[in-house]
Structure 1
Amino acid sequence: MKAKKSSFKKLKSKDGQLFNILNICLLILFTIIIIVPIWNIVASSFATSDSLAKGNFIFWPKETSLDNYIRVLSDSSLWSALFISVSKTVVGVLAHTAFCAVVAYSLSKRELKGRSLYSSLGLITMLFSGGMIPTYLLIKSLGLLNTFWVYIIPSLLSYYDVIILMNFFRDVPTSLEESAKIDGASDWVVFKKIFLPLSKPALATIALFHGVWQWNDFMTTKLYVTDKALYPLQMKLYEIITQSQAASSQGLNAAIEIGTTSKGIQLATIVVTTVPILIIYPLLQKHFISGMMLGAVKE
């Protein structure tokens, strides 16, 4: 009997080791698939125009230059676009997170009148949309065309984020809320002093999701903004890509200045627009992972 148990344990340990080896190999493969294209973009952005044209490098160009970055960072419109991107991301994240939190707190209360109707309306927004033209007409009628608030107001509510916060608020012990109300606290005080501090992981998750969307969004600008003073970084990058494609399709010389090319400037702009998100993500990673695990384990 003992011999059978020992052989079973050995077999189980061998299976576990084989699984771990396969798992590590797959993770290494996926990591390489993700990192290699990113590294190629970064390395190419530092290449000279000749090295970039020849493409005779794999990991790092033989001839490097900062001309692409000097060209990009010396463009005054890029700094204006950076200011718009940062502003709309910060304001959009704060407004979106606060609005979704207030709606989720209200809908998490079973005694709320019309709660099922509000929930049904929210679910409908997840499944259906008015379409591009009706949405444009709505934005126009609200006077949001060519304004900064077109980045903020239409994206205030996401019912998906509301559901995440509702599930978290329902897990908060009711005894905390009852004891606070016995002491005379209003619903607003309970929400601000109890629910918000306890829901930091969920709020950080929603803030990160919406922040990445706000930072990468250029369709809002393309559809509703024609004033170039309100262009964000992503729209600036979109302009650079379309201009370089138009030049190449017409057979024009892509060189912009000595030592730089439209492709090199395009790659440098990609790096500049991606770096802020790469810096912010590690700061929110702890809360992000906790928020993603909400509801994953039931006791």
Structure 2
Amino acid sequence: MLNQKSISERVFDVSNTALMIIIALGTLYPLLYVLFASFSSPMEVMQNRGLFLYPKDFTLEAYRLVFHNPNIKTAYINTMFYVVVGTVFNIFMTSLGAYALSRRNLMWKNAVMFMIVFTMFFEGGLIPVYILIDNLGMINTRWALIIPTAVSAFNLIIMRTSFQTVPVSLEESARIDGANDWTILFRIILPLSLPVVAVMVLFYGVFHWNSWFSALIYLQSRDLYPMQLILREILITNDTENMLTGVSSGDKMPIGETVKYATIIISTIPILFLYPFLQRYFVKGVMIGAIKE
């Protein structure tokens, strides 16, 4: 048989498959551990010294305490605002920059690209950036987490490369019909670049969802805190007191552990649901420009 594999090829396939399964399980189990622990009895979590293969003494008490915490609700709303508004603003600004830099007749295009790439290796530092944001009046405002991160140099380069693959003849035909740059960008270039746009949505969305350092530096009001900053307080500073109102002092330490796990799950699940919808675009979008025909 022409398609019959040799013994060495079969051994390689089996070994490769087994290795991938082990890596997948090693990657998945920490999440499953947190998930099972969040649904388990606090005392079972404290006494457990081995693997968690299922919830022990199933309970929803940790989730009840988390959802009754007003800081979590406020932080969730803030995070959704930062993710949605921030991502839309990122895509808009990155598209404008990528479109301009992908034009063949743009003056000093190489010099502009050099300055953009330069920022990937060198930056002004935290203090100058803080002074700049303070002088712009954005300290303790939502815009301090959105405007300074409007464009990522890496994402701009990826989107620019994608725009360059669109045939020039389409642009020329549109200009003959009277289309301007705005029409060409939003009605021709972007619809033909949906894979890379989906990847940019994923990259920027995950960035905003996981961002906490900028909020720690620029925000002073807890009413503006994102979810990840609240999660940091719970995990690092062990601040679960405001969630354990009404819990006896002897039970606070055990149930505080399951509250941490429940908070991790709540802050992780939404972004995990985003991946399946964008997965089919991911590989194609990331590989844009890697292979030239």
Question: Normalised by the size of structure 1, how large is the TM-score?
Answer: 0.90
| Equivalent residue letter for 2:270 | P
Give 1:234 shift: 0.4
Cα distance between partner residues in 1 of 2:73 and 2:36: 23
Cα distance between partner residues in 1 of 2:283 and 2:169: 27
8 Å CA contact 1:72–1:268 kept in 2: the answer is yes
The counterpart of 2:22, out of the listed 19, 25, 29, is: 29
Is structure 2 residue 84 aligned with structure 1 residue 90? yes
8 Å CA contact 1:205–1:292 kept in 2: the answer is yes
Cα distance between partner residues in 2 of 1:155 and 1:93: 10
Mapping 1:1-299, distance limit 5 Å: 13-55=6-48, 58-244=52-238, 261-299=255-293
Give 1:9 shift: 8.3
Give 1:107 shift: 0.5
Q: Deviations over 1:79-117 (max 9, x none)?
A: 110000011000111100110111011011121112122
1:22–1:254 Cα change, 3 Å: farther
Please, which moves more after superposition, 113-122 or 37-46?
A: 113-122
1:293–1:116 Cα change, 3 Å: closer
Q: Deviations over 1:51-100 (max 9, x none)?
A: 11111663124312100000001111111100000110001111001101
1:246–1:271 Cα change, 3 Å: closer
Q: Secondary structure at the match of 1:244?
A: coil
Cα distance between partner residues in 1 of 2:233 and 2:252: 21
8 Å CA contact 2:37–2:52 kept in 1: the answer is no
1:256–1:169 Cα change, 3 Å: farther
Cα distance between partner residues in 1 of 2:124 and 2:97: 22
Structure 1 vs Structure 2: percent identity of aligned residues? 34
8 Å CA contact 1:168–1:199 kept in 2: the answer is yes
Cα distance between partner residues in 2 of 1:108 and 1:275: 37
8 Å CA contact 1:161–1:206 kept in 2: the answer is yes
Give 1:278 shift: 1.0
Cα distance between partner residues in 1 of 2:17 and 2:99: 42
Cα distance between partner residues in 2 of 1:141 and 1:46: 47
Residues paired across the two proteins, number:
287
Give 1:254 shift: 10
8 Å CA contact 1:72–1:269 kept in 2: the answer is yes
Q: Deviations over 1:240-265 (max 9, x none)?
A: 12332899xxxxx9958679622111
| Equivalent residue letter for 1:294 | I
Higher alpha-carbon Rg: 1
Mark the runs of 5 or more structure 1 residues left unpaired by the alignment. 1-5, 248-252
Give 1:153 shift: 0.1
| Equivalent residue letter for 1:116 | N
Give 1:13 shift: 2.5
Give 1:228 shift: 0.2
Cα distance between partner residues in 2 of 1:110 and 1:255: 69
1:45–1:289 Cα change, 3 Å: same
Q: Deviations over 1:14-51 (max 9, x none)?
A: 23212211110110110110111111100111111211
**RMSD between superposed Cα atoms in Å:** 2.3
| Equivalent residue letter for 2:127 | I
Query: What is aligned with 1:3?
Result: none
Q: Secondary structure at the match of 1:126?
A: coil
8 Å CA contact 2:39–2:56 kept in 1: the answer is no
Mark the runs of 5 or more structure 2 residues left unpaired by the alignment. 242-246
1:98–1:69 Cα change, 3 Å: same
